[in-house]
Amino acid sequence: MGSLLLAVIYLIFISLGLPDSLLGSGWPKMQMAFGVPSAYAGYVSMSISCMTVISALLSPRMIRKLRVKWIVILSIALTVLGLLGFSISREYWMLFIFALPYGLGAGSIDAAVNHYVANHYPSSVMNFLHCFYGVGAVISPYIMALALKIARWNEGYRWTAYIQLLILLVCILSLPLWKRNENPADEENQDGAGIAESIKVPGVLPTLIAFFAYCSGEATCFLWTPSYFAATKAGLSDERIASFGALIFGGLMLGRLISAFISNRLGDRRLIRLGVAVELLGILLVLLPMKAYIAAALGFVIIGSGMGPIYPAIQHMAPSNFGKHYSAAVIGLQMASAYIGSTLMPMLFGNLQQAVGIGIMPFYLLFFALLNICLLEIAYKKAAALKSDPAA
């Protein structure tokens, strides 16, 4: 039964990935349909992420009050509502209404399931888990590309909502598995620390800023990669441009799949360092001044592969770095910090690229990659000092 529950958890992370790449893949056509500037994608992304931040910050309390399985059911249902709402939107302002359930459906489920896996499974399982997130995120650009080819962008959201409904049905049918395999005392985390207490723990704050930096780069890739190719590479069809939204997600999936096999040997910290080195290599490849799109496409796949292990490794380290007493709140804070980066930085980049050109994107990614690794190294030292201090 335990393996069946793990299979359901993997399916849940496919459902988490499905909505994340639709906006970036569909935006070049959505922009024309709504008659708005390119930068306006950032405002929609910001609204979704704001709701996710709120949901993530509420997650420690929800984990204490509700069981993980009910957080999962509620969150996926909200996501379905948001996707269907996007599919019926005929005016730009309508997207902001449906961004509310779209975003609220992501934060708590992400934090709750990450907390559960971080406390009950090894690093390899965490990487496999986030690899399945990549599966969902890779599928949806192709769903959008197919919709653009045979219908309209609206259908891309509608078809994705139908897939989410099927996953929701599986989760409902799996409720007995959660009952048999979970310890209510663990799940409710009655003695866990709160947000205010946890943020004061040495090493937590630089970890949060590092997570902000990582997700700033990741979310910028999610939203703007198709637009980067549309603006810098001539002669590409709408379907091909939309499909480029899958590049970063394919890289993420590949990076996490490889990491799942080596993470228990290397450990989370070495895995993060290796990942950032690979990410920097991909950024350099995108920077090559070539007219053909192949080098840049390969570069974004390599960037995604390098990013792959960073997110799950940071999440998995929370209990060992800061203790189980703080882990639920720290993971919730990490999720909130991540989504703040996802909220603000793609929008900032949208305005920046409109002013100076989207060719600045590789330099933007380089800045956040370096900021991420520098702050994580500081966090490691602070967490190690806390463990070695007998009075801590």
- Domain boundaries of the chain, sorted by first residue: 2-388
Output the DSSP codes for 70-121. Answer: HHHHHHHHHHHHHHHHHHT--STTHHHHHHHHHHHHHHHHHHHHHHHHHHHS
For residue 145, which of 155, 136, 137 has the smallest C-alpha distance?
Answer: 155
Q: What is the pLDDT of residue 388?
A: 59
Q: What is the pLDDT of residue 193?
A: 62
Instruction: Dihedral sign for Cα 215, 58, 78, 17, please.
Output: positive
Residue 221 backbone dihedrals phi, psi, to 5 degrees: -65, -45
Q: What is the pLDDT of residue 194?
A: 67
Residue 183 backbone dihedrals phi, psi, to 5 degrees: -95, 115
Please tell me the distance from the alpha carbon of residue 339 to that of residue 256, in angstroms, as a whole number: 20
Domain 2-388 has CATH 3.30.1360.100: no
Q: What is the pLDDT of residue 185?
A: 47
CA dihedral 19, 16, 222, 229 (to 10 degrees): -60
Q: State how far the alpha carbon of 8 is from the alpha carbons of 5, 20, 67, 252, in Å.
A: 5, 20, 15, 21
Q: What single-letter amino acid sits at 136?
A: G
- 371's tokens: 């900021």
pLDDT tens, per residue, the chain with 392 residues: 557 888 888 899 898 888 887 888 888 889 888 998 887 887 888 888 788 888 877 777 777 777 778 888 999 999 999 999 999 998 999 999 999 999 888 777 877 787 777 777 777 777 777 778 778 877 888 898 899 888 889 999 999 999 999 999 999 998 888 765 555 444 444 455 666 777 777 888 888 999 899 999 998 988 888 888 888 887 777 778 877 877 887 888 888 888 888 877 888 888 999 999 999 999 999 988 877 788 888 999 999 999 988 988 888 787 777 777 777 778 778 878 887 887 788 878 888 888 888 889 999 999 999 999 999 988 888 777 666 554 44
Q: How many CB atoms lie within 10 A of CB 231?
A: 17
Q: Do 256 and 309 form a contact (C-beta atoms < 8 A)?
A: yes
Please tell me the distance from the alpha carbon of residue 66 to that of residue 70, in angstroms, as a whole number: 7
Q: Do 94 and 284 form a contact (C-beta atoms < 8 A)?
A: no
Q: What is the pLDDT of residue 188?
A: 44
Q: State how far the alpha carbon of 94 is from the alpha carbons of 47, 88, 90, 97, 99, in Å.
A: 12, 9, 7, 5, 9
Q: What is the pLDDT of residue 24?
A: 80
Please tell me the distance from the alpha carbon of residue 244 to that of residue 224, in angstroms, as a whole number: 10
Please tell me the distance from the alpha carbon of residue 296 to that of residue 202, in angstroms, as a whole number: 40
